[in-house]
Amino acid sequence: MLQTAINMKQGTWLVWNPTIGSIRKYQVTCGIVNGTDPGTESSAPATDGVVATDDDITTDGLAVDDGSNTTAATNCTGIELSVPQGVLDVAAKLYQLSQLTNGTYKAAVEVYANNWNIPTVPNPSAHDYLMDGNYRAQLNDRLQDHGLEYANNGILDGLFEFLRAHADAALQFTSGVNATITVIFNDGSKLKVKLTLDKPPAYEKGSARDSTGQLLPDDNVPEYAGRWFYGATEQRNADRIVQLLNARGAEVIIGTRRNGFLNCTWNSVNNRLSCHWSSY
């Protein structure tokens, strides 16, 4: 870890080894060689490194030790300094999260949205999330504040709560911390929402499925041309996908059928999905 700091050349460096959760702080000083100071720039900038000066993760330079820094830099020496407790705490939490997610810092959990009382939509489905802006905002608020808590994973919830409270520091280590929440509704429909440390919850496009497992279109674009099938007992899903497609600006020719195959093709003349029911 000292060699990693020395390879960064002159400055104050925090060196982080994410594989073992260790972090050290070094002051590197470089001498004069042939009239020039070799410490004016780094010959081996670290990934995730930041420019810095003093006492916490947002002001010290951060270098990542991947075990490959074994070649000595010329005419530079380093001494170890104490690491601020706040930085140690963030590094420790990231290490815990790394252990729980196989080194990815990316968690994946499931929550059941119907456990939450949102009066505007008492029996919601994935269709409501896509079509009702107020319901979507309220559900996102619940996910932001309680998503991992409702997943009944106390360890993950505690880690994300801590790291979100110290997002500025945590993001200096890595920007890859996130949790993908699969939201499951009582009717069996589902979708995915991603939580990060510093941004509002974000719906993952293309992830919404109805209770039959079929895709719910996000937009009126050529990529959503396709065929859906709804049997006689799936009238609600058939009605809801027609409602969703209409809201997206697609042209749905209902006719007398409300089940069977819903065929959607892209009409390049009016730039709309054109959908109709058929028996095949």
Query: How far is CA 270 from each of CA 14, 22, 51, 216, 219, rounded to the nearest angstrom?
Result: 58, 59, 52, 22, 15
Q: Mean pLDDT, to the nearest integer, of 17-44?
A: 72
pTM over 0.85: no
Mean pLDDT of 138-160: 89
Cα dihedral: 91, 92, 98, 101 (round 10): -130
Choice between 185 and 257, residue whose per-residue pLDDT is larger = 185
Sign of CA dihedral 33, 39, 42, 44: positive
pLDDT score, position 32:
59
pLDDT band, very low/low/confident/very high, at 180 (cuts 50, 70, 90): very high
pLDDT in tens, 48-92: 333 233 334 555 567 676 555 555 545 899 999 999 999 999 999
Would you say residue 118 has pLDDT above 70? yes
pLDDT at 270 over 80: yes
Arithmetic mean of pLDDT, 123-131: 95
